[in-house]
Amino acid sequence: MTSPGAAEPMIAPSILSADFARLAEAADSVDGADWLHVDVMDNHFVPNLTLGLPVVQSLRAATGIPLDCHLMIDDPDRWAPPYAEAGAANVTFHVEAATDPVRTARAIRSAGALAGLSVKPGTPLEPYLDVLREFDTLLVMTVEPGFGGQQFMAEVLPKVRLAREHVRAGHLRLFVEVDGGIGADTIEAAAQAGADVFVAGSAVFGAEDPGRAVEALRERARGSMTL
């Protein structure tokens, strides 16, 4: 798999915007994607309910695209490692919900997945810079988690810049992923700020040809990336 700091932008279509009765077809329609982003919501951490482990297990069998599980759930210390055991390539949980993020990251890694930490728009990054040494991915939310189709929040980009500076300086080794409101009009700003993984839900599955939408987003990000 691509490792953090690869010069190529990675596109992670979010199946939140796909037809939940046809997830295997949705995955097939974006077979050039780098990761397939799977939003797990528990109706507690966020006011929405989506899918959980059984669906991830079925998706794992239905597609060869590496699964990027984004857990918007309470008590990730307990519930995150099973997603790694189910074969997810990357398991990201929210720092706001975690009690012991380092222990949870270690459990995810020892089950064979990359470990990701996510921050909501209002959560600062500075208190977690040391903790992030134990992670492979930082997911900076560029909308409030819970729903697709929201407007991109450019005001969180300083966190992307800060993370990229620490990666560039060699203090951290991370994918810097952005999630929420990413589309043709916003991906360049995120790439310029230093993101290298781009989640896109409505911009991909709302398009007539999701596969082409992935390639078009990748092309736009490629021209603006500053690693």
Task: Write down the catalytic residue from 34, 39, 42, 196.
Answer: 39
Q: Which is nearer to ligand DX5, 97 or 166 (CB)?
A: 97
Q: 194 with 163: CB under 8 angstroms?
A: yes
Binding residue for ligand DX5 (CB under 6 A) from 76, 180, 194, 210? Answer: 180
Q: Yes or no: say if 226 and 164 are a contact pair by the CB < 8 Å rule.
A: yes
Pairing of strands 90-94, 36-41: unpaired
Query: How far is the first Cα of the chain from the last one, in angstroms, to the nearest whole number?
Result: 18
Which of 104, 142 has the CB closer to ligand DX5?
A: 142
Give the 3-state secondary structure of residue 219. helix
Q: State the binding partner of 17 from ligand DX5, Zn ion, none, CB within 5 to 8 A by kind.
A: ligand DX5
Task: Please classify residue 151 by burial: count the beta carbons closer than 10 Å to its beta carbon, then call 0-12 exposed, 13-18 middle and 19+ buried.
Answer: exposed
Decide which of ligand DX5, Zn ion, none touches 158; Cβ closer than 5 to 8 Å per partner kind: none
- Residues from 116 through 175 that contact ligand DX5 (CB under 6 A): 143, 145-150
Active site residue 34: no
Which of 9, 23, 26, 37 touches ligand DX5 by CB under 6 A? 37
Q: Could you say whether residue 57 binds ligand DX5 (CB under 6 A)?
A: no
